[in-house]
Amino acid sequence: MPRELATRPQDVPDVFADRFNTGDLAGVLEVYEPDALFAPSPGTVLRDTALRSAIEEFLALGLPITVTTRHALAHEDIALLIVDWSIRGTGPGGEPVDITGTATDVARRGEDGRWRYVIDNPFGTAESAPVPGRRE
């Protein structure tokens, strides 16, 4: 059973990681607001079905994500989260995977009192970042 949605903004990354690590796409998507934005690489912003597809690509690696919330700064129903994360291991084709980043995310408390991502920017201010399945 996946962890309940976050009741505190600093818990959003942990809820995401718990659901990601079980491979539960629907559960991961519940951690996002319906109109959320996802930046899978610098300069790329996705939403809706494109967001879903990008999350599927990361899940397809079949590797766990680790997260450490560095900062959570909340004001009323909005929070800025700075989160260190990594996905490491051997990918489905036997290739080594070592993807890390420092996310700069925005979460919002919904009417149900639960916090969800409204903007998920996993590579923060990086100039470039690896994207699963894309050859540079």
pLDDT in tens, 52-109: 999 999 999 999 999 999 999 999 999 999 999 999 999 999 999 999 999 999 999 9
| CATH numbers and ranges of domains, the chain | 9-120 (3.10.450.50)
Q: Is the pLDDT of residue 2 over 70?
A: no
15 closest CA partner among 88, 105, 130, 92: 105
Average pLDDT over residues 112-123: 96
Q: Give the whole-angstrom CA distance, residue 3 versus residue 57.
A: 22
* Radius of gyration of the chain measured on its C-alpha atoms: 14
pLDDT at 135 > cutoff 50: no
pLDDT in tens, 34-56: 999 999 888 889 999 999 999 99
DSSP letter, residue 91 = -
Q: What is the pLDDT of residues 11-25, one digit of tens each?
A: 999 999 999 999 999
Token pair 């994207």 is found at: 131
| pLDDT at position 51 | 93
pLDDT at 38: 94
User: Which strand (E) or helix (H) includes residue 37?
Assistant: strand 32-41
pLDDT at 5: 94
127 confidence band (pLDDT: 50, 70, 90): low
